[in-house]
Amino acid sequence: MQARLRDRWQEAARQLLFPTVAALLIGGGLAAWAGLPQLSILAWLAGTALALLALAVDIVLALGRGEFGLDLIAALAMAGALALGEHLAGIIIAVMFTGGEALESFAQRRARRELTALLSRVPGSAARYRNGGIEEVPLDQLAAGDRILIRKGDVVPSDGSVEAGAAVLDESALTGEAMPVRLLAGQPVMSGSVNAGDPFDLRVSAPAAQSTYAGIVRLVREAQQSKAPMARLADRFALAFLPLTLALAGVAWLVSGDPDRALAVLVVATPCPLILAVPVAIISGVSRCASKGVLVKGGGALETLARARTVLFDKTGTVTAGSARLVDMKLRPDLDAGEVLRLAASLDQGSRHVIAEALVAAARERGLALTPPATASEVPGSGIAGEIGGRGVSVGGWDFVTGRLGGSAFQDDLARWVRRPGTVSVLVAIDGGLAGAFLFADEVRPEAGTVLRRLRDAGAERIVLATGDRADLAADVAAFLGVDHVVAEMKPEDKIRVVEAERAAHGPVMMVGDGVNDAPALAAADIGVAMGARGAAASSEAADVVILLDRLDRLANAIGIARRSRGIALQSVYAGMGLSIAAMIAAALGHLQPVQGAVLQEVIDVAVILNALRALGPALRDRYGRAKLHGRELSSLEAEHRALLDVIEAMGTVAERSRHLPGAALRSELLALERMLNERLLPHELKDDREIYARIRKGAGDENALAGMSRTHMEINHMVRSLEAMRAGLDQLEPSEAERYELQRLLHSLAAVTKLHFAQEEEIYRALEAR
């Protein structure tokens, strides 16, 4: 309470003191111009005394907290001016000091804008359904399981899920994403989001005090109260600088016999660049990170983020997406892939198994219309069986599905196909016959490769993958990413030992993770970074940095911001202090009068603070010197790729069916596939090349940029034309085995090239997202 009152008093004093002192300076000047010297002296004396009194109170409060700062030099300068009758110099010093404080206050408010915006959005109550009506209740009365109404424009007060229908939410204050997101029934909603669409019902999953947003608010308050090591440097600097200043002022007085020289030294001695510019630059960096969806818990964390040389990554949920995703399917040749997926996902709607949810998500991503099952019976952990539209469907593990069927050659073929490391298979049976299998995997994030390259460019000398997964799975991911070292099958305490060993061998360590098991290592590292969008609350609490958006590339953005902010702070310190020391020497030699020194010091203060505020924006080379895509464009491009997933899967399906289909049926399916390729895939690639690539080349100033990617467009087009020619040349009766083999090879190649090309484009696009 005392700290808050002190801070409010100091803030109010800064806001009122500067205009008051400035008005007295102007009033005294007008009085002197009007031939009223006594009145001018009185005005200047009053302004100086007022500033000196406020400064004395600040110094006493600081000493009470055990802090010893450089404000004492400014107090001595004002007191000296009063004692020597340098009334104009005294009021200029007062304006200089109060103006610097006011400018710092403005800069701090400007820099903290993103953090303050988070705090200002905390809702006070919620509309809860109770006894057939709606009641407005305080947030602390919400409990898990409550159903609440979220009106248009409301801030979601607690974590939960959409009860029914759909919700359109603005998550920009939490994630930095400008585009609203559309969530369907059952999908999780993050507290702190704003309802940008029609009212919807939310099923609360956690009390408000335990929600994501409440945790973020706690972290923000920690960030605001933290004091950076570079800012604390000013306090330590005072111990050496104050005696030096007094000694130089005393020597100048003794040698020259002129006390004005001592006063001039004191006037220009205050190291405002260190007092003002450092906290402004650091908090500007913290605020800019917040605008990008990265919450940094104060200046100390930002500085350490800029200095880390070894980076430890957890695997699951950090370098991988942390959730299962449909990556491949193998179905009986006589079945339609979309219909099999639709039937399986429709049945799995009734299951809460994580793979079942992934299967349903895959079907919805492909725009398939799901129907509720007429009947459903689930064996937890094994599978589910039921009826969909009059057809009997079974979905589950190998033993659950095949145990109800007889053996077949297709089943034997499928048994070999599902044996892929790092994947989970789900079998489907329809009307008593084995229909096929889906493969799910936790894939490496599309931006992971770019992030690791940017980390190395930013000074990371060693990148380590530390995971509790099996050694073979960890080795596959490590080889794919090209990390320097991998440690697998680890317990939480083992990760702490790895952190300590890496620190001893290679210097400051950054740990990046998302799970409860990562929390000890996050706390033990020099800088802990938590993937907070879907990660555990324990990891977010233990970390120094929390990435609020489920995007690993925001880590690279935050490191770039941290390095730039620290560089700007040091630049302001070196330039400002160098100028101040030069001015002190000039004053000691008699080349600067007190009034001139006061004006010069004010100019230095303004220059270094304005320079420090540059940390709020991107570097000029990022703003004007590089090609970039905005977040909404990136989301649109990735959505286009998702919309074309069914085209890629159709290539694989036709390739598999081409071995068995009769000639007429094969030609019919090839014609249908060609229409998809010519009407959907090729126009997409042409648009990318002529619009997106052209803009990137122009922004990069390099007409050969993305030449390799354009060459892939040409290859895809060539393969489509080869497919058309092959289809036209097929034997009118029955294709030969050699023709079927060549057709299958071409289709599999086209699918692989297109899928790889999409992945490369997404990595490039994410790397070009506006920073």
Residues marked as catalytic:
314
- Cβ-based neighbours of 546, under 8 Å, separated by 6 or more: 216, 219, 294, 295, 297, 529, 530, 532, 540
Distance of CA 92 to the CA centre of its chain: 45
Dist. CA 93–CA 81, nearest whole Å? 9
Sequence letter at residue 106: F
Question: Distance of CA 90 to CAs 25, 47, 52, 74, 84, Å?
Answer: 10, 8, 10, 10, 10
Dist. CA 16–CA 11, nearest whole Å? 9
Dist. CA 265–CA 586, nearest whole Å? 8
Kindly give the pairing relationship between strand 147-150 and strand 310-313. unpaired
Nearest to 323 by CA among 150, 409, 182, 441: 441
Q: Which residue has the tokens 């459903």?
A: 376
| Dihedral of alpha carbons 748, 751, 755, 757, sign | positive
Task: Record the tokens describing residue 598, joined without a space.
Answer: 């006061």
Sequence letter at residue 500: E
Torsion angle defined by CA atoms of residues 320, 325, 331 and 336, in that order, rounded to the nearest 10 degrees: -140
- Cβ-based neighbours of 247, under 8 Å, separated by 6 or more: none
Torsion angle defined by CA atoms of residues 746, 747, 748 and 754, in that order, rounded to the nearest 10 degrees: 100
> Contact 598/81 with Cβ under 8 angstroms?
no
Core vs surface per residue 382-406: b (16+ CB within 10 A) or e: ebbbbebeeebbbbbbbebbbeeee
Dist. CA 123–CA 373, nearest whole Å? 40
Nearest to 716 by CA among 657, 756, 765, 666: 756
Residue 196 burial class via C-beta count within 10 angstroms: exposed 0-12, middle 13-18, buried 19 and up: middle
Question: Distance of CA 225 to CAs 3, 128, 221, 540, 752, Å?
Answer: 11, 34, 6, 18, 52
Dist. CA 505–CA 309, nearest whole Å? 11
- What values do phi and psi take at 132, rounded to 5? 80, 0
Dist. CA 691–CA 683, nearest whole Å? 12
Task: Record the tokens describing residue 746, joined without a space.
Answer: 């071409």
Dist. CA 94–CA 74, nearest whole Å? 8
> Contact 465/483 with Cβ under 8 angstroms?
yes
> Contact 641/766 with Cβ under 8 angstroms?
no
Dist. CA 482–CA 37, nearest whole Å? 77
Sequence letter at residue 178: A
What is the separation, in whole angstroms, between the first and last Cα of the chain? 39
Dist. CA 17–CA 25, nearest whole Å? 12
Distance of CA 570 to the CA centre of its chain: 25
Dist. CA 278–CA 231, nearest whole Å? 6
For residue 236, the tally of other CB atoms under 10 A from its CB is 11
Q: Helices 337-348 and 354-365, interaxial angle, to 10°?
A: 130
Task: Record the tokens describing residue 680, joined without a space.
Answer: 């959907």
Residue 129 burial class via C-beta count within 10 angstroms: exposed 0-12, middle 13-18, buried 19 and up: middle
